[in-house]
Structure 1
């Protein structure tokens, strides 16, 4: 780290010093030891009030900043400032990027093709399945999945990416060494080992209500686009979607039941212009370069390049005819439970083997193997 970065770090640990002050400090021609400056000089350099300038003069310490960095490095925690060439280019483009990023894990993921998957903290079984399936399919193609490691859809997105042998980035509303929610401890450990954890809040900082809306701009800022799986009409996911639009990112949404309040927000996004998404191809069609230069092969493909099916999926596919078959009829023709059949049918839709019709009913899709 260079001296200017230590300067920014020292400032960031002073109460009442926010991103505006840090941005002004970063734009200075050289690093400044504010503890040796007069209040008037600090006011001129950072455009702060006399009271804040005095606080900076009294509390600024480059020595403490160096000590913090050494302690964090020993714990496996790194940091990036906007002065660093390793700071993610996509995030630098947004209107209000964080001046300091704390990280644990593989920081090279900050420069890989990435896509955000977000949604409600209280999803339906349908929402969980879709989130995990979408994340897995994208991860298998070399796309890094970004989410917030919250309960519900976020956690399923991370798990899907890891299950697909891919990478994932978790953006936290607390310090990178704090696990929140606590039940995601095992998931957090796996992301540390196989992915990346990111936060703009210093290590040890406990989660606070106001931190989560702020961290949402980083989730969308690190991503080429954002997929909303399930969101109620007053969901925090809609905040992220709005931020994504402000940042010039595309928004995609998974449709759900018209009777489900958990999909009301998703449907509203679609009405406002978000792309209705049924398979990952709906996403990839918008980004021909998203998987360019990365792993385009999918481990679970057959000799014809189509997604291979599990034995259970083969059974369900055989029960679905070339004419519409009701869900109840498929249930009668197979020995699976209703919840598991629902999962298998969804998987077959993602693999573009069947489509769902009103009713609900299902029908097979003719592909080149059937010609």
Structure 2
């Protein structure tokens, strides 16, 4: 690490020193040992109160910063500041970039084209299916999936990218060595091995409510566009979308049922000018440089290699929508016997037109052409 990076790291561990103070310290253009400065000089350099200047003088320690960085490096955690060439260039462009990033995993992913996939923490089956499938298909096109490791859409997006053997980055509202939510322990372990996990909060920092809106600017800042899968009318995803607009990023929204409150936020975004998207090609078409001739021909390749649907299968598929439908409801809306309907539902699953949920219930899969 550069000496200036250790200076920022030392400052960041002083109580009540925020991003603004860190930015002013970086802009000094030199390494300053604030423990050797007078409080008055610290006031002038960092534009802080007399009380803060006194605290910085008494608590600043470059030696402690070096020891922390060495300890974290031994644990597989890297520290990046804007002095580092590995600091992501896209983040440098946003109005309020993090001065320090802590990362575990593959740092190279921070420099590859990425799309952020975000949404509701309590999504519908439709939303989960879209997040999982679209993230998988985007990852198959060499797009890095960025999200926030939250319950619901975020977690499904990470899983989809990993299922494709693709790349994914999680931006946390806690330390990178803290598992949150607890049910994502296995996913977090896999992310650290196959993707990357990063945060602007030091290792060991427990999640706090205010951290999550702050980290949203990093999620959108790392990506070229933000895809909102499901969001209520009052949702943190709308905050991220708003930040994306301020950062000059594209915003994409997946439409849902007009009766679903979890799609109300997406519909509002579309009314405000977000691009309505119905498949990953609608997203990738905004970035011609990401679509090679090979990729363009393979986006829908899975659909064209499957056997065509029979008239009976089309009849069943026509009654299954984008929200989960129970087996009993499907049986009532079709004229087939129970035994034959089981056969048709199984065939539609094999042809990747629907998927089965607990219940049993069924839901239509997106991005597949009805043949």
Instruction: Tell me which residue corresponds to 1:360.
Output: none
Shift of 1:325: 4.3
Question: In the alignment, is residue 184 of structure 1 matched against residue 196 of structure 2?
Answer: no
Change (3 A) 1:317 1:115: farther
CA–CA distance in structure 1, aligned partners of residues 266 and 308 of structure 2: 32
Shift of 1:309: 4.8
Trace 1:195-344 onto structure 2 (pairs within 5 A).
195-291=195-291, 296=295, 306-309=300-303, 314=307, 319=312, 321=314, 325-327=318-320, 328=330, 332=336, 334-335=341-342, 336=345, 342-343=354-355
Say what the alpha-carbon RMSD is for the aligned residues. 2.6
- 3-state secondary structure, aligned to 1:350: coil
CA–CA distance in structure 2, aligned partners of residues 129 and 316 of structure 1: 21
Instruction: Tell me which residue corresponds to 2:80.
Output: 80
Q: Deviations over 1:35-67 (max 9, x none)?
A: 000011111111111110100000000000000
Change (3 A) 1:167 1:297: farther
Instruction: Tell me which residue corresponds to 1:5.
Output: 5
Change (3 A) 1:36 1:317: farther
List runs of 5+ in structure 1 lacking aligned partners.
355-363, 365-371
CA–CA distance in structure 2, aligned partners of residues 292 and 22 of structure 1: 42
CA–CA distance in structure 1, aligned partners of residues 301 and 334 of structure 2: 22
Q: Deviations over 1:13-37 (max 9, x none)?
A: 1111111110000011310000000
Shift of 1:308: 2.4
Change (3 A) 1:315 1:68: same
Q: Please, what TM-score do these two structures have when normalized by structure 2?
A: 0.87
Quick check: 1:10–1:65 contact (8 Å CA) kept in 2? yes
Q: Deviations over 1:307-358 (max 9, x none)?
A: 22599x7475664559x94445679475228x966438743x403x13xxxx
CA–CA distance in structure 1, aligned partners of residues 238 and 334 of structure 2: 36
List runs of 5+ in structure 2 lacking aligned partners.
321-329, 357-362
Shift of 1:292: 5.5
CA–CA distance in structure 1, aligned partners of residues 308 and 94 of structure 2: 48
Q: Please, what TM-score do these two structures have when normalized by structure 1?
A: 0.87
Instruction: Tell me which residue corresponds to 2:325.
Output: none
Instruction: Tell me which residue corresponds to 2:15.
Output: 15
CA–CA distance in structure 2, aligned partners of residues 286 and 310 of structure 1: 24
Q: Deviations over 1:270-295 (max 9, x none)?
A: 111111110000001111113469x8
